[in-house]
Amino acid sequence: MKKKPELLAPAGDLKKLKFALHYGADAVYCGLPDFSLRAATGFDLASLKEGIDYAHSISKKVYLTLNIFAHNKHIAELPKQLKKIKELDADAIILSDSGILMLVKKALPKMPIHLSTQANTLNSAAVKFWQKQGVERIILGRETSLQDIREIHADVPTMELEVFVHGAMCMSYSGRCYLSAWLNERSANEGKCTQPCRWDYKVYIEEPQRPGQMIPVEADDQGTYVMNSKDLCLVEYLKELADAGICSFKIEGRTKSFYYVSAVTSIYRQAIGLLSSSIKVYKQKVKPLMDELLKTDNRDYTTGFLLGTEEKTRQNFKTSKVKSDWRLAGEVVKVKKEKNNKKIFFRAHNVLRLNDEVEVLTPKKILKLKVKEIFNSKDEKITQAHGGTDEIYSFVVSGESGIMEKSLIRQKVK
């Protein structure tokens, strides 16, 4: 491993962009509603420009997603959009459609192009083809195995390779889901997925000699989540992936909360810091990080197709809901030194009560403490802080705690 791989985090809006970079991402990916696979993105051209300028000011990168599969209506609109995008000064464009590729190369000839996982690239022949089209990085399909990655890198060593290492997976091939368009007339390939793979279904069989007698299959009163994938988690395999030739580890989650993005990014940042270790040592040191990932919302975890050994355990048949025993209590907005103490000013996101035991996430470490006093915005002592308001609360910690602006306060759900 010559160089530590890049950590690439999702940015669904400007706030998430800043938190992702603060918690250790080398780069973020984000997009505009009309051409991104997340139609609910919180960016417009002005906020994207602000985010890109901010990232560049701290020597980080921003990749812009134009990764829908385009219809004629999109192609007609794209040249106008590309003129505006040119002014943003993004570090690369992520795309999947060959028509969009052609137009981007014409309008932005110097722009680095990354090929989306939506293009389903799984073999070195396809990598060579896209390389001839001017693509500089391939985001491999999630079905690519570790052995596939080794072989592709050996065959095309000059191509940058990126993989998803964490987050939601779709039941359909590499996420190119047609169910949403079929059932709801909202195409996932245009960023409008309604997630029908997360719905519960009642499944039946019909015996030909008994027409109309529908026999339920493995379903109880709640139905069954036959297409609901567990979440991908490859934190234990970053060492193997880096040695295989991966240059960028990508986290899914542009529609997830800024707390989720911060916590997961921080954990993967720590894991990347262990990559110089041997495989055996890496496996030992990364175990506590896996425990931390269980504190973030998830649908249980899977290694997906990386190892080719989880055919029966990739799906969660019980529920599509994300789960975690921890929740965000507040975000730190200011820290003020007072003699030998620090006063921590925070915006509450859930109820925080006197004597609650909490964990405070920082980019470097996780601190455990008990809240002994809470003050309201008038500096009056109170017994609890409430989320859902703009009021700024505070509490005091002793010594040099390491708590800083953008630190996050979380508590275990009782």
Cα separations in angstroms, 323 against 10, 231, 294, 301, 360: 20, 11, 9, 11, 20
Token pair, residue 390, equals 């703009």
The answer to whether residues 340 and 398 touch, using CB atoms and an 8 Å cutoff, is: yes
pLDDT at 178: 67
pLDDT in tens, the chain (414 residues): 568 999 999 999 999 999 999 999 999 999 876 776 655 678 888 999 999 999 999 999 999 999 888 889 989 999 999 999 999 999 999 999 999 999 999 999 999 999 999 899 999 999 999 999 999 999 999 999 999 999 999 999 999 999 999 998 876 666 667 676 666 766 666 666 777 776 677 777 787 888 887 766 665 555 566 667 788 999 999 999 999 999 999 999 888 999 999 999 999 999 999 999 999 999 999 999 999 999 998 888 989 889 876 555 666 556 656 678 899 999 999 999 888 889 999 999 999 999 999 999 999 899 999 999 999 999 999 999 999 899 999 999 987 678 999 999 999 987
pLDDT at 213: 78
Query: Count of alpha carbons within 13 Å of 395, Cβ hemisphere only?
Result: 28
pLDDT at 114: 98
pLDDT at 327: 94
SS (H, E, C) 102-147: HHHHHHCCCCCEEECHHHCCCCHHHHHHHHHCCCCEEECCCCCCHH
pLDDT at 170: 75
∠ CA 89-91-97, nearest 5°, is 100
pLDDT at 308: 75
The answer to whether residues 64 and 30 touch, using CB atoms and an 8 Å cutoff, is: yes
Could you tell me which of 233, 389, 366, 385 has the C-alpha nearest to residue 297? Answer: 233
pLDDT at 338: 84
d(CA 35, CA 108): 16
pLDDT at 300: 86
Domain 326-412 has what CATH class?
A: mainly beta
d(CA 127, CA 124): 5
Query: Count of alpha carbons within 13 Å of 388, Cβ hemisphere only?
Result: 3
| Secondary structure element (H or E) that encloses residue 385, with its range | strand 384-385
User: Tokens 């918690």 correspond to what residue?
Assistant: 23
Query: Count of alpha carbons within 13 Å of 5, Cβ hemisphere only?
Result: 31
Cα separations in angstroms, 103 against 106, 134, 138, 139, 143: 5, 12, 19, 20, 29
For 179-203, give one letter per residue: b (16+ CB within 10 A) or e: bbbeeeeebbbbbbbbbbbbebeee
Cα separations in angstroms, 100 against 29, 66, 70, 172: 18, 8, 7, 23
Who contacts 139 (Cβ-Cβ below 8 Å, separation ≥6)?
94, 114, 115, 116, 117, 121, 162, 163, 164, 250
Domain boundaries, the chain: 6-169+229-302, 177-216, 326-412
Phi/psi for 16 (5° steps) reads: -65, -35
d(CA 91, CA 95): 13
Q: What is the pTM of this model?
A: 0.88
For 75-86, give one letter per residue: b (16+ CB within 10 A) or e: eeebeebbeebe
pLDDT at 314: 64
For 6-169+229-302, the fitting CATH number among 3.30.870.10, 3.30.1360.30, 2.40.128.20, 3.20.20.70 is 3.20.20.70
pLDDT at 332: 97
- Per DSSP (E only), the strands in 229-365 are 231-233, 248-251, 301-302, 326-338, 341-348, 352-353, 357-361
**C-beta contacts of 354-357 below 8 A and 24+ residues apart:** 354/383, 354/384, 356/329, 356/411, 357/411, 357/412
Q: Provide the angle, in degrees to the nearest 10, between the axes of the packed helices 258-272 and 279-293.
A: 170
